[in-house]
Amino acid sequence: MSESFRTRIRARLWIWIAPAIPGVAALALISTAARAAAVDLKAAASNYSASCVDCHGQSGKGDGPKASELKTKPANYTDCAAMSKFTDDYLFNVIKNGGKSVGKSADMADFGQAYSDDEIRGLVAYVRSFCSK
């Protein structure tokens, strides 16, 4: 096989493969937030009401009825600038393992026993929704 023949084959192969690269790369780069779009936000809202409202408040501003009793003010989920600094994986870890697991306040309880990983992903998506309201 001559070198020019190999070059032509590579060029033709590249014509078929090159258009697929951005699509494959996009799939690899889909964030947890995008995957969270498939979560049941109605169930997540219910879980949030059951476990998070007392501290973080119904509107996510960190002003729940028990917030004033805590040593550290709960996170304000409506502060989009502050929330943009946290990855979904970070929020998942905080919800699952508690604030102490990431060097934050032990007032933030761990919910790893109360909720499945999918439910925690739902809570992350729901918490993120406060910045899009």
Mean pLDDT per block of 10 residues along the chain (133 residues) reads 68 62 54 57 95 96 95 94 95 96 92 96 96 74
Of the candidates 132, 133, 126, the residue with the CA atom closest to the CA atom of residue 52: 126
What domains, with CATH codes, occur in the chain? Answer: 1-30 (no CATH), 39-129 (1.10.760.10)
Tokens read off for 102: 């990431």
CA angle 27, 30, 31 (to 5 degrees): 165
Q: How far is residue 96 CA from its own chain's centroid?
A: 12
